A = this chain, B = another copy of it.
Amino acid sequence: MAREVGVTAKTVSRVLNDDGPVAVETRERVMAAVTKLGYQPNLMARNMRVGARDAAIGLVIPEMGNPFFGMVAGGIESAVRARGLTLIVGSSSETADLEQSLIATFLARRVSALMVVPSAASDHRHLRTERVAGLPIVFLDRPAVGLRADSVVSANREGARSGVAHLVAYGHRKIGFVGDLPATLYTRRERFQGYRDALDQAGLPFDRSLVETGHDQEAASRAALRLLSLDDPPTALFAANNLASMGTVLALSRAGRRDVALVGFDDLPLAEVLDPPLTVVAQDPAGMGATAAELVLSRLDGDRSRARRSLVPTRLLVRGSGELPPPR
């Protein structure tokens, strides 16, 4: 395009890429034309010729609106920015179909790497070809299904165990579990295991009726209310994710109950201001993104070691709601 202006064709390329030698006067004429025409070299053409992949990382998350994934994306982006990589994000609405088609789009686009927060029912066998071809693929928050691949997940089980053990340490012997759906979801299962671990370690019996489930804030709220209206209700609750926490807080607030202890998994913005302030097992979403990004970068740099699972530690933030003693 800019070749109309000066006189040449590929000299422009030389100028723009600081490639071969260029006469000062030529360079200036070219640059002038470039700024005048607002010329932008076509990246697609360049990549195709060079055989390079698109300088982008494809990220699939279940839901854009969820701040947890927003912070994950933020962690990735800042870790990756220095390398000139941009982030392409798509949301799967937690469905396997959309996830697949997003991944297909990313692959057709020849992204440099793939990062996926798998939806509940998805399967990743079809990515084997790409994996062996050397495309960096990292799974976030939940591991891959049917594929050995890198993954970065929270210390869900240990975190949940510590949260529940905290309640046990304050004297609770009947502790309700408010989980999300579907119950087959990796994080849900792991955190549930942590809950059981804590009970086992304390020699407390597992009571199936103390487990309730809700897939959004309102449903979680109802789930918490069901637990509280049992004949022999729990004296403490453990909420297994941020929506469950919010729902449970809502339920307690509506019921005017300030006597029920509560520990939530995942931190909330105003946790400190609640009454009582909310004790949580905090995750580190930005750290998770950054860890995954570093893993991807090392893979791009040629690290071919075998797939690893990275565990991002959680932190118990003691604020009040988890330290309420059982009534007596």
Q: Which residues of A contact B (CB under 8 A)?
A: 37-38, 40-45, 47-48, 54, 56, 63-67, 69-71, 73-74, 77-78, 86-91, 93, 102, 104-105, 107-110, 126, 129-130, 246, 249-250, 253, 268-270, 272-275, 286
Q: Is A90 a contact of B110 with CB atoms below 8 Å? A: no
Chain B neighbourhood of A249, CB < 8 A = 270, 273
Q: How far is the CA of A130 from the CA of B38 in the complex (A)?
A: 8
- 9 closest A-B pairs by beta carbon, nearest first, are A64-B74, A38-B129, A70-B70, A67-B67, A44-B44, A43-B108, A65-B74, A253-B273, A65-B71
Q: Is A66 a contact of B56 with CB atoms below 8 Å? A: no
A-B contact pairs, 21 of them (CB 8 A): A38-B129, A42-B108, A42-B110, A43-B105, A44-B110, A45-B48, A56-B88, A63-B74, A64-B71, A65-B67, A65-B74, A66-B70, A73-B89, A77-B91, A86-B90, A86-B102, A87-B90, A88-B88, A250-B273, A268-B270, A275-B275
Other-chain residue from B40, B78, B88, B93 in contact with A108 (beta carbon distance below 8 A): B40
Q: How far is the CA of A270 from the CA of B273 in the complex (A)?
A: 10
Output the nearest chain B residue to A127 by Cβ-Cβ distance. Answer: B38
Chain B neighbourhood of A102, CB < 8 A = 86
Name the distance in Å between A68's Cβ and chain B's nearest Cβ.
Answer: 9
Chain B neighbourhood of A270, CB < 8 A = 246, 249-250, 268-270, 274
Q: How far is the CA of A105 from the CA of B75 in the complex (A)?
A: 20
Q: Is A73 a contact of B64 with CB atoms below 8 Å? A: yes
Q: Is B273 a contact of A107 with CB atoms below 8 Å? A: no
Q: How far is the CA of A70 from the CA of B63 in the complex (A)?
A: 9
Q: Is A269 a contact of B246 with CB atoms below 8 Å? A: yes
Name the distance in Å between A17's Cβ and chain B's nearest Cβ.
Answer: 13
Chain B neighbourhood of A109, CB < 8 A = 43-44
Q: Is B63 a contact of A77 with CB atoms below 8 Å? A: no
Q: Is A273 a contact of B272 with CB atoms below 8 Å? A: no
Q: How far is the CA of A93 from the CA of B38 in the complex (A)?
A: 25
Known: A44-B110, A86-B105. 15 other contacts (CB 8 A): A38-B129, A40-B104, A42-B108, A43-B105, A43-B108, A44-B109, A48-B48, A63-B74, A65-B70, A69-B70, A78-B91, A87-B88, A87-B89, A246-B269, A269-B269
Q: How far is the CA of A58 from the CA of B247 in the complex (A)?
A: 35
Name the distance in Å between A12's Cβ and chain B's nearest Cβ.
Answer: 14
Q: How far is the CA of A130 from the CA of B39 in the complex (A)?
A: 10
Name the distance in Å between A100's Cβ and chain B's nearest Cβ.
Answer: 13
Q: Is B41 a contact of A44 with CB atoms below 8 Å? A: no
Output the nearest chain B residue to A66 by Cβ-Cβ distance. Answer: B70
Q: How far is the CA of A16 from the CA of B303 in the complex (A)?
A: 35
Chain B neighbourhood of A67, CB < 8 A = 65, 67, 70
Chain B neighbourhood of A37, CB < 8 A = 129
Chain B neighbourhood of A40, CB < 8 A = 104, 107-108
Q: Is B110 a contact of A43 with CB atoms below 8 Å? A: yes
Q: How far is the CA of A88 from the CA of B55 in the complex (A)?
A: 12
Chain B neighbourhood of A274, CB < 8 A = 270, 273-274
